[in-house]
Every structure is written in structure tokens, then in C-alpha cells.
């Protein structure tokens, strides 16, 4: 039964039928939770091993979808924590042990092979908590909008991000008056966002991708969503975000990223790792139909993502608070166990 | 052959004429009773394609017929001439099918640049030509062919004008302000032709001769005998018309006919609305088509070349405008002020200080051709520029200079006036009009400044012809030295900067960059080009087409993917609209951010710009001084699953912004490649000063 569900999820993931990493994360968590509940395991070690196998198959289905891997890591971390607390150790212990501590330590004893009857229940409870966190992360972030948007502000955003949409609408519902400038992007997802915002009464202007820098001098804040946050605080975001970030940096406009914390990935990838990092869309999105005799002889490139280096990002707003990119390494070690960085 | 009869070439088809003669007496009445002139056209026009092609075809014929006329007149054998004629038309037809859009500029001297790709013919705005490809609803066909009929009428009225009879004729129709009226006059003119044929006391050869001249819309020089015959014919036509009117008024009162006309008009509007629902673009197409008609028309009258005839013709234009489709179009736009008001309201707040381009706004709406002293070539140019047929600052400048040259050639100093003063004032007036069509490019302004400086310095003691000759020479030198040779120099300079194994990134379609790349390739250099493009215009495709055709290895990306591609790029080459005195580069929107990304990746940015585009303006951002293009461009021509904002005007707080230019700060530009060498951006004021000093000496 579990396998059927997983296969279905993998299938939809593989064919790109799912959109919105929040949804994907929730579905992945559901698969993992089912695995924890229904599969046969005695020790935490068994569970960790089988979870890794399940997780790996889901990650391999769509390697660019970092949310899946992140959720797997979160679940693994929960298992480890619950095991530790069941043993009576302090669960919130520092996983990234200090150098001194590592020096003094007599080697790790936690091999997760002890059978603990109460472990399953504790893990399932924690997973429920994680599920709630995923569900409410969007609203948690949106609630912070009033702290960041002042009246009569001009905000620029790119494409269509669900989180940015709720973020802006939350502020607008609370009588904050501001303008939004939406960059349309070649897939024209910006049009969808613009329509949605305008219909809820926010003054919205759609601009082309080419006009980003021209308009940037009148923008107060750039607020964007992202696909994932890299371990160094860089972004893997929609293609065009790098330009936006560069323009914002040049004009000293704050570049704010709204992202739930499950988007934080322990990968360190950037520009020169395009093969591992990026994904390419259909050239038809660039060329449209027709013109074959010309386009047939040229190389058409349609990258999906852009890498935004951390120095261009001013602030991350996540469901656990606001952070500078330089702090991401710390969050990383709190959220994931170092042994799970590589699955 | 059949198709050609429609476009004011009835005379060319003898057979048809004879057929018509057979039922000549009832012809007017019958058709008039049917009301809509469209019917007639339906008979003659087989498909919308023909009707729409006609716009360009007629124009072309007009221009060519001038040259053809003498040859045709001299032929005596009627069969021979007809076959010749057919042959020519066939040739033209096949030409047209290949590139219907190109024909719009075919005849203009501007087209000399089109080979260089300077003139980017708009794919979207191609006037009537849009129709044939889209194969749209039949309503459109009706409208277009209706306008066609009007135009036919107009050309015919010209003929009367040369006879100084048109006015009477128009009055005699008593329906001068309706489509039907003009239809009638068109019918009458056919009539006239028939009458002429039967009444004129000439030999068969003479008849043929005249027929041929008819075929060429009687633009060739006419003999006195012909004139006499025609006058007679016109008189006859008038009489027939009067008779027809009487008969008509017997059957129905004037009011009644007006009522039917109103109904007709409503029917057309209804049809248009229906068509609009079916096809989004259609609304635009109709006025555009009519603009085209006007343009074609104006060209015709311009090509007549004769001063007197021209004045008369202009008069007849205004007369006809009152009477015919133009007024209808006016009414369509003017009785819809909501649209324009909404568009004004729909202006982005930051840009309220800039004029908004209106796609539906008819530039010639308030133009009184009779009273105004606008030269037709300027009106034609204005329309072409506003519709995007002539695009790119070099192309616009050359087109302007060509038009000015025509104006100067036609210019006669009014009595008690001085050429230098009067001509300058006139040119200022023209520039005002062009500014309304689309804000004048820096290149155009500079060229005109150069010219007016020359005009004001013209000594007052030389006569008109001498002055005109000098001015034309001056214009020619300007085009040659400042634009063409400069372009060559730039492509040479830029070509030197391209080395083997370079990857050159370029943005949209700049003629100078294209020239440079092609030159470098011809020199045998081995390099790759990345063509960056941006919505909504997608001009880069034209660039890509040229480069690929040449055999250069190309990549094509949209502007959002520039950071991705920039890693492999070794040089960025951009064109420019203008260089400002503070070193800022004004160019197509998007250039600045490409320069910004290039700076982030440490790639040098080279800007190609002719020195005549250097300007004394100083701006520091892209908002104060810019141009707003049609916002609808962002939402039209999208695939059906992406038409989210199709009705964006209905959402009150939604705005679309379609900017034309932006400013690149000088620190992002490594070098400016000009015709006088490679300079830093900051050298602009130096060049300007030197140039200014040079012109003072001259």
C-alpha cells in the first residue's frame, strides 16, 4: 500500500506534474510518515536505513526538487532526536559539537541499535508537529509582512510565488497601502500574480524582464520567493532573480527572500555547478511556434533557475524568524544532522 | 488580372468595361438602392486576401505606373498592351506574395536601408497585411473592401480634379457625406470612363492610348485632346448623376436614405464588434487598415508631383474625408472617448509625465489636410513611425531626411518671405507633428538641427532652385557621411575588437552591431554570438535570422537567462539610441541590465554608437526621459493558455508598463565604438564641442 503511494508520488514528481514546493514537501512527508507507521522496524537504525532508501528514491525522481531531500533530512533528524531523548539524553543537544568537545569525546556511542518500544509513538508525534509546521509556514511568514512593508512603499517581485502572494495580501488586508511591481518572466507567471494582487486591490504594475534595472531606482524593496536556499545563503531561484538581485544591490535596495525553512538545503552549489544545479525548460518557451529554419541552426537555451549569491541577499524571512544569509549555516546544523547531508 | 480591377484600375480591363457598359444605365440606381457599397466590392473582390493585399498593391502600382505610363501610351496594339500589362501585374503579384509587408516600403527611398536591416518591418503592425495571414472574419473583408471602394472613388475624383469638376460632381451626388455617396462617385467615374470611350471623337489608337493612361490612373501627362474629352465625359457623368439623384429621390426621401445609412453603419459596427469578440486584434486592424488607406492615398497624391494638382487633390482629400470612410473611422474612435480616457487613467504613476502611445488613436484625426501645410510625405512618415514600420533610430533618421528632401524639392518660397526663415518654421512645424506621432529620436533631432543650422546660414541673395539644390546636397552628405560611412567605420572598428574564439553577446537588433559581426565573420574570424532577446518585441529574432543566414554560430536566449550565459561570454556588444553628455548610454530597454550583469561577471561592454547620435541631454535615470510603448504589446499574441491579462483594462488597479529605452551608467560601459574611434563614455562632451566648433566654421 505504501509502495503504491510512493510510486504515485514519484511518478508525479518525475513528470513535473506538481508545482509549488510546499505541496511537494507535504506529500513527501506524508509518504515518509506512512513508511514510519506501516513498515516493519525494530531499532532506530533500521528505520533510518529504510527511510534513507525511500528518501533516495524520491530525491532521484527529481534531483532539482530540493524540498523532498530536505523533508527526508528533517524526518531523519526527528528519528535521531527522539532516539536520543528516549535514551534520556538531552534531545536539543548541540549536534555540531565544538572542537574541544570532539577532542574530549571518547567516540560516538549512538549507533541507534537499541530497541525502544516508545520510540515509534514519539516519532509519529513529532512528525505530526512537522506536518503542522509545513502547513502553517506560509501563514507564519505572511504574519511578518507588517514588519517589513510600510505605507506607500514600492515593492518589486518576480514571477509567481505563493508565499510572496500571501505575504503581500496579508499586508494589504490590514490597510497597508503600497504598490507592487511584478516582473513578468518568460513563462508569464508574473501575469497571474499581478492579476491576483490587482483583484485584491493592490496597485500592481507589470513590467517586462528587460525593464528591471530601469525601474529599480524607484523601488523600495524587492521581495521574492525562492526555490531553495543553499547552504551558504545563496538562492536557487527563478531565472531572472539574479538580474533582479544585482540591480537591487546596485541601487542599494533591500533584497528580501520569503521562504519557509524546509527550503534550506545543505547543498553548496553555485554558478559553475550548473549541471548539478540547474534545469532546462523546453526551448519552445523561448522560440514560440514556428521559425524552425532559423532556430534549428541556433542553440536555444532556456534555464529554469538562477543562482543568486548570498552577498546579494539582504534578509531571509522564514517561518522561524528573519535571518541574514550569513546565519544560514547555523540553521542548517540545527535542522539537519550532519550525517544526513549526503543521503 | 481580375483582382487588379479593384484598386482603381478599372480602366485597364477592357472586357470588364464593355460588360459594364451593357448595363450602364441601371447600374447606379441598382447599386444605390442596395445601399451598401460593400456589395459591389463583394462582387469584384473574391477573397479577403485580395482586398487586403490591395492596399500595398495599389500603392505599388501607383508608383510604378508613373514610369510605365509612357511606355503604355505609346503602344498602339491593344492586345499587346494588355498582355504586357498582365505580365507586369503577374510579376508584381508574385513578388507581393513572397513578402507582403515589405511592399509597404518598397517604393520609398528609405528602403535602401532595408537591405541593411536598418528598417525593421513590424511583424505585428503590418497594416492590412495582417489580414491575409490571419484569414479573419468576413466583416473585416467588407470593411477593407469598402475602404478600397472609397479609395477607388477618391482616385477617380482626382481625375475630375484635374478637370476642376470634382466639386460640382460631389455636390451633385448630394450624398457627399456617406459611403454610398463615394461609391456613387466611383461608379460615376467608371461611367465617365465609359462615356468618354463612346463620346470622345478619337481614333481607335487614341482610344487605346487613353485607356492605357486610364490604366495607370491617368497620371501620365495628358494631351489637350484628352483633357477635352474627359471634361466632356465628366459633364456627362454629372448629368447622369443628376438624373440618378432625381430618380432616387422619387423613390425615397433624403432622410430615409440617411436612416438606411445609419443602419448600415450600425450594421458594420455590429459586425466589427462581433468580429472583435472572435478575434482580439481585429479592432485594431480596421483603423490600421484605414490608416494604411490614408497613407497609400497620401502617397498617391504626393507622387502626382504636380503642384497644382496636388493642391487640388488635397482639397479633394478633405472633401472625401468628410464623405467617406475616414470620417467613419474618426467617428469610431472619437465616439469612444472612454477608451482614451481609460488609457490615460491606466498610465503607470511614475510615468504620468510621459505621453502614452495609443494604438487606436488616429493621428490624422484632427488634421485638416486642406488647411494644414503639412507635406504629405511627412504625414506618411509620421504614420509609418507611429505604427512601427520604420523603426530604429538610424532608419527613422534616414526616413526623415528623405522626407525632408522631398519637401525641399517641392518647396516654393511664398512671396514676401525669405526661404531661410519660412522653411525653418515649416520644418519646425513638421517636427511637431512627428513628435506627436512618436517622440522624435535624438538622431532625428540632431539631423534636423544640423539642417536648420545650414538653412539659417543660407545667404539670402541666392535663388530658390540654387538654395534647394544646396540643401538637398547637404542632406545627401549628411546621410552619407554621418550615417552610412559612420556605420561602416563602426563596423570596422568593432570588427577589430573581435578576436578568434570570442563569444560575443548582443542584445536585440542593432544595425551597427550586426554590421560589425558580419564584417568580422567575413574577415574569417572564428567566433560565436549569443543573441539575447526580450519580450514583447523579440527583435533579436531578426538579428538571429541574419547571423544564422550568414553562417555564424549562434545561441539564442531571453534576457532572464543572461546571468546563465554570461559565464561563457567574452565580450558584450550593444547598440545605442543616443549617448548623453554625462556619458550615460540611452538604448533599448534591457541594455543597462545586461551591462550590469556583464560587470558582475567582469565581461567588457562595448557600445556601438555613431557620433551624430551624441546628445547634449543629461539624465541620470530611465524614468525622467523615456518613451512609453503600447502596453497592449505585453498581452497580445500570446498562446491561449497564457492570456491571463487579456482584459487587464477592466481591473482598476492593474497597470502594464512597456518602456522603450533605458539608461546605462557610464561606469558599466568599457568603451564606446564610434566612427571617429574608440572612446570612453565620458568623451561625449568633448566630441560635441569639437563638432559644434566644426559646424560653426562651416
- Select the CATH number that applies to the domain covering A2-139 from these four: 1.20.120.420, 3.40.640.10, 3.40.50.2020, 1.10.3720.10: 1.20.120.420
The alpha carbon of residue B597 is apart from the nearest alpha carbon of chain A, in Å, by 7
pLDDT for residue B21: 44
Give the confidence band of B347 by pLDDT, cuts at 50, 70, 90: confident
Of the given ranges (A243-252, B86-95, B688-697), which has the lowest mean pLDDT? B86-95
Instruction: Evaluate if residue A134 carries a pLDDT over 80.
Output: yes
B123, B167, B485 from B398: Cα distances, Å: 21, 38, 13
Give the confidence band of B34 by pLDDT, cuts at 50, 70, 90: very low
Domains of chain A: which residue ranges? 2-139, 148-340
CATH number of A148-340: 3.40.50.10470
Query: Hey, are the CB atoms on B621 and A198 less than 8 Å from each other?
Result: no
- Which of B554, B600, B642 lies nearest to residue A298, judging by beta carbons? B554
Instruction: Evaluate if residue B613 carries a pLDDT over 50.
Output: yes
Q: What is the ipTM of this complex?
A: 0.91
Give the confidence band of B55 by pLDDT, cuts at 50, 70, 90: very low
pLDDT for residue B425: 84
pLDDT for residue B233: 55
CA angle A128, A134, A136 (to 5 degrees): 100
Torsion (CA) B418, B424, B426, B430 in degrees, nearest 10:
170
- Model confidence pLDDT, tens digit, residues B264-306: 666 666 656 655 554 443 333 334 444 444 444 444 444 433 3
Instruction: Evaluate if residue A89 carries a pLDDT over 90.
Output: no
Percent of chain B clearing pLDDT 90 (strictly above): 20
pLDDT for residue A106: 52
Percent of chain B clearing pLDDT 70 (strictly above): 48
- Helix B282-303 and helix B325-334, axial crossing angle in degrees, nearest 10: 140
State CA B616 to chain mean position distance: 30
Give the confidence band of B344 by pLDDT, cuts at 50, 70, 90: low
What is the rounded average pLDDT for all residues in chain B?
65
Percent of chain A clearing pLDDT 90 (strictly above): 43
- Model confidence pLDDT, tens digit, residues A208-232: 999 999 999 999 999 999 999 999 9
Instruction: Evaluate if residue B143 carries a pLDDT over 80.
Output: no
Nearest to B51 by CA among B159, B136, B156: B136
Residues 6+ apart with CB under 8 A from A20: A162
pLDDT for residue B324: 36
- Which of B534, B623, B638 lies nearest to residue A209, judging by beta carbons? B534
Query: Hey, are the CB atoms on B560 and A240 less than 8 Å from each other?
Result: yes
Which pTM was predicted? Answer: 0.68
- Which of A195, A209, A286 lies nearest to residue B556, judging by beta carbons? A286
Centre a 10 Å sphere on the Cβ of residue B458 and count the other Cβ atoms it contains: 18
Question: E-strand spans in chain A?
Answer: 153-158, 178-183, 203-207, 221-225, 228-229, 235-238, 255-258, 299-300, 305-308, 315-318, 321-323
- Model confidence pLDDT, tens digit, residues B219-273: 444 445 555 555 665 565 566 556 555 555 444 444 445 555 666 666 666 656 6
pLDDT for residue B223: 47
- Which of B588, B653, B657 lies nearest to residue A198, judging by beta carbons? B653
- Model confidence pLDDT, tens digit, residues A8-66: 888 888 887 777 888 889 889 988 888 888 888 888 888 888 898 888 888 888 888 88
Nearest to B34 by CA among B243, B261, B324: B261
Instruction: Evaluate if residue B210 carries a pLDDT over 80.
Output: no
The alpha carbon of residue B193 is apart from the nearest alpha carbon of chain A, in Å, by 48
* Alpha-helical runs (H) found in B174-306: 179-199, 204-215, 224-251, 254-278, 282-303
- Taking residues B669-696, report their average pLDDT: 89
Nearest to B295 by CA among B357, B381, B373: B381
Using a CB-CB cut-off of 8 Å, the residues of chain A touching B593 are 210, 212-214, 243, 246-247
- Model confidence pLDDT, tens digit, residues A70-80: 999 999 999 88
Bond from prior residue into A329 cis (ω within 30 degrees of 0) = no
3-state secondary structure B336-363: CHHHHHHHHHCCCHHHCCCCECCCCCCC
The alpha carbon of residue A298 is apart from the nearest alpha carbon of chain B, in Å, by 5
pLDDT for residue A62: 84
Instruction: Evaluate if residue B89 carries a pLDDT over 60.
Output: no
Top mean-pLDDT range of B58-72, B411-425, B594-608: B594-608
pLDDT for residue B459: 81
- Model confidence pLDDT, tens digit, residues B473-526: 989 999 998 889 998 999 888 888 899 999 999 998 888 899 899 999 999 999
Which residue would you say has higher pLDDT here, B365 or B659?
B659
Which residue would you say has higher pLDDT here, B676 or B218?
B676
Tell me the CA end-to-end span of chain B in Å, nearest whole number: 56
Would you list the DSSP string of B197-220? HHHS---HHHHHHHHHHHHTTT-S
pLDDT for residue A210: 92
**CA pair distance A237, A227, nearest whole angstrom:** 5
Amino acid at each position: 500500500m505504501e509502495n503504491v503511494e510512493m510510486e504515485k508520488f514519484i511518478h508525479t514528481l518525475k513528470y513535473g506534474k506538481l508545482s509549488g514546493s510546499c505541496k511537494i514537501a507535504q506529500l513527501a512527508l506524508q509518504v515518509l510518515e506512512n513508511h514510519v507507521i506501516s513498515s516493519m522496524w525494530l531499532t532506530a537504525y533500521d528505520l533510518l536505513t529504510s527511510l534513507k532508501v525511500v528518501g533516495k528514491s524520491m530525491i532521484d525522481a527529481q534531483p532539482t526538487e530540493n524540498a523532498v531531500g530536505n523533508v527526508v533530512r528533517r524526518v531523519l533528524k526527528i528519528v535521531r532526536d527522539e532516539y536520543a531523548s528516549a535514551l534520556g539524553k538531552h534531545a536539543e543537544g548541540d549536534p555540531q559539537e565544538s572542537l574541544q568537545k570532539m577532542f574530549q569525546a571518547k567516540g560516538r556511542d549512538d549507533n541507534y541499535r537499541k530497541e525502544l518500544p516508545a520510540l515509534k509513538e514519539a516519532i509519529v508525534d513529532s512528525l505530526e508537529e512537522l506536518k503542522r509546521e509545513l502547513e502553517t509556514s506560509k501563514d507564519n511568514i505572511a504574519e511578518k509582512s507588517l514588519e517589513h512593508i510600510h505605507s506607500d512603499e514600492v515593492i518589486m517581485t518576480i514571477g509567481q510565488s505563493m508565499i510572496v502572494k500571501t505575504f503581500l495580501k496579508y499586508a494589504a488586508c490590514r490597510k497597508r497601502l503600497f504598490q507592487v511591481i511584478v516582473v513578468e518572466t518568460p513563462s508569464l507567471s508574473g501575469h497571474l500574480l499581478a492579476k491576483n494582487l490587482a483583484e485584491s486591490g493592490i496597485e500592481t504594475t507589470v513590467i517586462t524582464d528587460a525593464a528591471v534595472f530601469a525601474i529599480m531606482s524607484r523601488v523600495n524593496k524587492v521581495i521574492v520567493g525562492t526555490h531553495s536556499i543553499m547552504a551558504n545563503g545563496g538562492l536557487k531561484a527563478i531565472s531572472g532573480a539574479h538580474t533582479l538581485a544585482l540591480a537591487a544591490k546596485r541601487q542599494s535596495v533591500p533584497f528580501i527572500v520569503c521562504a519557509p525553512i524546509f527550503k534550506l538545503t545543505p547543498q553548496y552549489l553555485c554558478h559553475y555547478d550548473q549541471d548539478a544545479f540547474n534545469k532546462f525548460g523546453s526551448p519552445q518557451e523561448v522560440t514560440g511556434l514556428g521559425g524552425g529554419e532559423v532556430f534549428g541552426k541556433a542553440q536555444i537555451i532556456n534555464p529554469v533557475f538562477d543562482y543568486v549569491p548570498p552577498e546579494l541577499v539582504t534578509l531571509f524571512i522564514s517561518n522561524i524568524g528573519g535571518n541574514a544569509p550569513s546565519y544560514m549555516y547555523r540553521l542548517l546544523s540545527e535542522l539537519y544532522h550532519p550525517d544526513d547531508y549526503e543521503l | 488580372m481580375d483582382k487588379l480591377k479593384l484598386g482603381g484600375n478599372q480602366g485597364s480591363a477592357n472586357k470588364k468595361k464593355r460588360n459594364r457598359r451593357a448595363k450602364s444605365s441601371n447600374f447606379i440606381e441598382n447599386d444605390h438602392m442596395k445601399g451598401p457599397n460593400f456589395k459591389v466590392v463583394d462582387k469584384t473582390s473574391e477573397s479577403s486576401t485580395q482586398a487586403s493585399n490591395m492596399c500595398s498593391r495599389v500603392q505599388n502600382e501607383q508608383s510604378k505606373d508613373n514610369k510605365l505610363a509612357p511606355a503604355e501610351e505609346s503602344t498602339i496594339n491593344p492586345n499587346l498592351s494588355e498582355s504586357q500589362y498582365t505580365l507586369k501585374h503577374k510579376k508584381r503579384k508574385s513578388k507581393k506574395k513572397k513578402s507582403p509587408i515589405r511592399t509597404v516600403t518598397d517604393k520609398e527611398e528609405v528602403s535602401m536601408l532595408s537591405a541593411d536591416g536598418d528598417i525593421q518591418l513590424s511583424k505585428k503592425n503590418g497594416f492590412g497585411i495582417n489580414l491575409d495571414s490571419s484569414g479573419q472574419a468576413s466583416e473585416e473583408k467588407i470593411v477593407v473592401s469598402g475602404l478600397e471602394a472609397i479609395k477607388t472613388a477618391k482616385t477617380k475624383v482626382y481625375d475630375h480634379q484635374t478637370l476642376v469638376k470634382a466639386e460640382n460632381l460631389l455636390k451633385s451626388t448630394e450624398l457627399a457625406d456617406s459611403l454610398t455617396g463615394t461609391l456613387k462617385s466611383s461608379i460615376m467615374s467608371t461611367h465617365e470612363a465609359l462615356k468618354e470611350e463612346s463620346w470622345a471623337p478619337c481614333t481607335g489608337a487614341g482610344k487605346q492610348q487613353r485607356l492605357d493612361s486610364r490604366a495607370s490612373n491617368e497620371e501620365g501627362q495628358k494631351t489637350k485632346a484628352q483633357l477635352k474629352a474627359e471634361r466632356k465625359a465628366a459633364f456627362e457623368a454629372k448629368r447622369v448623376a443628376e438624373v440618378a439623384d432625381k430618380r432616387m429621390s422619387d423613390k425615397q426621401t433624403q432622410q430615409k436614405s440617411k436612416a438606411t445609412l445609419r443602419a448600415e453603419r450600425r450594421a458594420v459596427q455590429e459586425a466589427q464588434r462581433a468580429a472583435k469578440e472572435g478575434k482580439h486584434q481585429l479592432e485594431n486592424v480596421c483603423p490600421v487598415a484605414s490608416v494604411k488607406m490614408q497613407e497609400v492615398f497620401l502617397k498617391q497624391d504626393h507622387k502626382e508631383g504636380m503642384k497644382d494638382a496636388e493642391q487640388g487633390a488635397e482639397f479633394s482629400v478633405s472633401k472625401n474625408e468628410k464623405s467617406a470612410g475616414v470620417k467613419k473611422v474618426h467617428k469610431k474612435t472619437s465616439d469612444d472617448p472612454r477608451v482614451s480616457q481609460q488609457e490615460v487613467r491606466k498610465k503607470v504613476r511614475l510615468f504620468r509625465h510621459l505621453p502614452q502611445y495609443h494604438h487606436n488613436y488616429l493621428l490624422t484625426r484632427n488634421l485638416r489636410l486642406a488647411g494644414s501645410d503639412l507635406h504629405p510625405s511627412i504625414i506618411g512618415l509620421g504614420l509609418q513611425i507611429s505604427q512601427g514600420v520604420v523603426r530604429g533610430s538610424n532608419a527613422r533618421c534616414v526616413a526623415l531626411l528623405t522626407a525632408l528632401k522631398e519637401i525641399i524639392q517641392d518647396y516654393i518660397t511664398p512671396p514676401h518671405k525669405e526661404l531661410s526663415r519660412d522653411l525653418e518654421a515649416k520644418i519646425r512645424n513638421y517636427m511637431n507633428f512627428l513628435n506627436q506621432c512618436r517622440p522624435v529620436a535624438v538622431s532625428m533631432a540632431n539631423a534636423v538641427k544640423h539642417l536648420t543650422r545650414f538653412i539659417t546660414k543660407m545667404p539670402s541673395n541666392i535663388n530658390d532652385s540654387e538654395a534647394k539644390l544646396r540643401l538637398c546636397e547637404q542632406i545627401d552628405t549628411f546621410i552619407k557621411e554621418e550615417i552610412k560611412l559612420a556605420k561602416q567605420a563602426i563596423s570596422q572598428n568593432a570588427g577589430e575588437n573581435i578576436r578568434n574564439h570570442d563569444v560575443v553577446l548582443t542584445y536585440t537588433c542593432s544595425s551597427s552591431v550586426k554590421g560589425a559581426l558580419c564584417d568580422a565573420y567575413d574577415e574569417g574570424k572564428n567566433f560565436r554570438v549569443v543573441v539575447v532577446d526580450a519580450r514583447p518585441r523579440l527583435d533579436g529574432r531578426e538579428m538571429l535570422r541574419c547571423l544564422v543566414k550568414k553562417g555564424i554560430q549562434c545561441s539564442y536566449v531571453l534576457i532572464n537567462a543572461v546571468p546563465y550565459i554570461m559565464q561563457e561570454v567574452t565580450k558584450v556588444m550593444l547598440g545605442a539610441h543616443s549617448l548623453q553628455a554625462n556619458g550615460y548610454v540611452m538604448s533599448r530597454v534591457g541594455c543597462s541590465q545586461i551591462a550590469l550583469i556583464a560587470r558582475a561577471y567582469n565581461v567588457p561592454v562595448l557600445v556601438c554608437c555613431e557620433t551624430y547620435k551624441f546628445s547634449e541631454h543629461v539624465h541620470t535615470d530611465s524614468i525622467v526621459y523615456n518613451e512609453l510603448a503600447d502596453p497592449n504589446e505585453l498581452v497580445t499574441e500570446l498562446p491561449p493558455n497564457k492570456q491571463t491579462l487579456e482584459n487587464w483594462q477592466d481591473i482598476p488597479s492593474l497597470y502594464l508598463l512597456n518602456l522603450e529605452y533605458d539608461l546605462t551608467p557610464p561606469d558599466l560601459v568599457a568603451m564606446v565604438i564610434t566612427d571617429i574611434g574608440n572612446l570612453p563614455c565620458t568623451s561625449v562632451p568633448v566630441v560635441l564641442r569639437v563638432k559644434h566648433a566644426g559646424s560653426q566654421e562651416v
